[in-house]
A and B are shown apart, each in its own frame.
Chain A
Amino acid sequence: MASIQLKQITKTFDKHDVIKDLNLDIEDGKFTVLVGPSGCGKTTLLRMIAGLEVQTSGQIYVGGKDVSKVAPGQRGIAMVFQNYAIYPTMSVRENIEFGLKNNKVPKAERTELVEGIAETVGLSDYLDRKPSTLSGGQRQRVALARAMVKKPAVFLMDEPLSNLDAKLRVQMRIELIELHKKLGTTFVYVTHDQVEAMSMADKIVLMNKGEIQQEAPPEVMYHTPSNAFTAQFIGVPPMNISAMSDGFSFGFRPESASLSKEKLLGAFAAHGRIVTREMLGSETIYQLKTEHGSFMIKSIDDSFRVDDEVHIAVKQDKLHFFDARQKRIAPSEPAYEQSLDLLRGRRYG
């Protein structure tokens, strides 16, 4: 087990800074998810921790030890790749024990380890099969087993579930959470899918354009996003954000608004027409056109139809305000009252 520290990491591709002066502490034993839109540098960051990519400047510490110049195979880490990167010419057994062989683990111990891990991930019957005869989910397990068998201090995963179908993905998500609980090892998981991040992470690290936007546990990130980008990246549908004057803006989550045919009262209230309706089962998502722009509203009431005229209202504690630099204004800040006034002025003006 080990913590990871990244200090002043910069990575340059073709004279273009992908990541600049990034600092990050990844806690020992925690499930940390790096999430962000494609091209945000999350995979590059993970590959630098693995040693597959060399940082242009800065240091990486694993378990307090500077590994900046240590070869990937000697950093005490294991990685699960997006395409699994299973050795296609080797049997499942050979795949799993390749790392052990290279580390000169004696044969008896090797066999015991491989068979134990195969049991854990449910591959015991497939040890002598070639990967090409396995299904996508089974290959995923081979990749996991290959990583686990080395008993690494850190597990790195690069979008490991993106090649699975939706059902299997949900199942593997739960299995990975259980696996993390059982192993208690540091997990660093990269994904572009905020649902994966929310459901699995102890801590989410949200990145955009090579910079960390926010580091926080899922519920903190959801309820108190540090800026407009975070607010809109996390949550489906994203937070409704609408501009006010002076570059300020306000926002609310789709499920925070109440919806009715009658006029409603709230810190923010508006009326408009339903443009689209998506019935998802337990809830229904309406797109509403109002004079302040269009809003997504999530409701458990599915009785409204397209073209209905409706009213919405949001309570004050469900409203978020963002300043001209897109940063969220906390209720304790003086600018918060000012924002509320702006919103009221707009309503009555």
Chain B
Amino acid sequence: MDKHRFMKAVLPYLLVFPAMFGIAVFVIYPVLYLGYLSFYKYNLMNPAKSKFVGLENYAAIFARDDFYKSLFNTAVYTFGTVVLTLAISLAIAVWLKRSTKLNAFVQAGIFTPHIVSIVSISLVWLWMMEPNLGFLNFALKSLGLPTSQWLQSSDTALLSVIIVSVWQGIGYYVLIIVAALQGISPSIYEAASLDNASNWKVFYKITLPMISPQLFFILIIMTIGSFKVFDTVRMMTNGGPNNATNTIVYYIYQNRTTNIGYASATGMVLMAIIGILTFVYFRMLAKKVHYQ
């Protein structure tokens, strides 16, 4: 009887243990260790010589211009990527809403970049954006349009990286939005047409609110993802020219060998920024999102 009661009390913990163990080892421990490192002047050659410096690393971050530069770049990149991806995905999804054979083909085509490694994509775009021999300038020239320096100029480099990210990402988001659009009951649109609603009104008052949960999800996921952008920057620009495309994660990466404590502190700051941003989103938008 006692044994039975013991089992009843212990069994739930036993069952959640494997998952909890994984989270503890792979999520909680690394985050805590990152926080721990951020308080040290860490010596990679001889960890024993590491020195506790308190909030010194954090003070250093907020005193340095290159941090603000990369934070600004990241913000611009995030804003550009999120807005462009959402707008273009939504437009394409509305266009591809009706399930015909042609639409399925186009959708598969748009989705393809998503299954290709971002490294390969970055390399291909790197060549296409080459100012003298690249395809993009060749195409612009043959159309009689002005060419661009793309990644080679600090004016256009960040935009070029944004274009590649958007191009790679839209297929996936189109897929999500198309699924959401197809989930809307056609009779609601019929009711709206009997209510004499214009196309714009139907889109604004019915379609958008109906897919708001998916749009909100995309907004959050993309903001977090964009704030952590690294691979395109690493492959295409290495943060250049003149730090024009240096983003926070790449900034952390640059400090990985020279100053582990400083890099860790930057990581903690990044985590806090993303956390605050997500919180603000929920505060501002959650009421506007319609859940069925």
Write the residues of chain B forming the contact surface with A, with a CB cutoff of 8 angstroms.
Answer: 185, 187-188, 190-198, 201, 205-206, 209-210, 212, 290, 292
Contacts and interface: CB of A to CB of B under 8 A. Distances in A.
B213 to A, nearest CB: 11
Interface in A72-88: 72-74, 77-79, 81-83, 85-88
B188 A99 contact: no
Nearest to B197: A102
Interface residues of A, number: 26
Contact of B194 (A78, A83, A87): A78
A52 B190 contact: yes
A82 B201 CA distance: 24
A233 B194 CA distance: 32
A171 B191 CA distance: 25
A120 interface: no
B190 A99 contact: no
A101 to B, nearest CB: 8
A12 interface: no
- Which of the listed residues B185, B196, B198, B206 has the most CB atoms from chain A within 10 Å of its own CB? B196
A73 B192 CA distance: 8
B190 A87 contact: no
A144 to B, nearest CB: 13
11 contacts: A50-B190, A71-B193, A72-B194, A73-B194, A79-B191, A79-B194, A85-B190, A88-B292, A89-B205, A99-B195, A102-B197
Contact of A81 (B191, B212, B292): B191
A72 B198 contact: no
Given A83-B185, A88-B210, A102-B198, A73 B190 contact: no
A126 interface: no
A102 B190 contact: no
A308 B90 CA distance: 72
B205 A98 contact: yes
B196 A103 contact: yes
A99 B190 CA distance: 12
B187 A85 contact: yes
Interface in A140-155: 146, 150
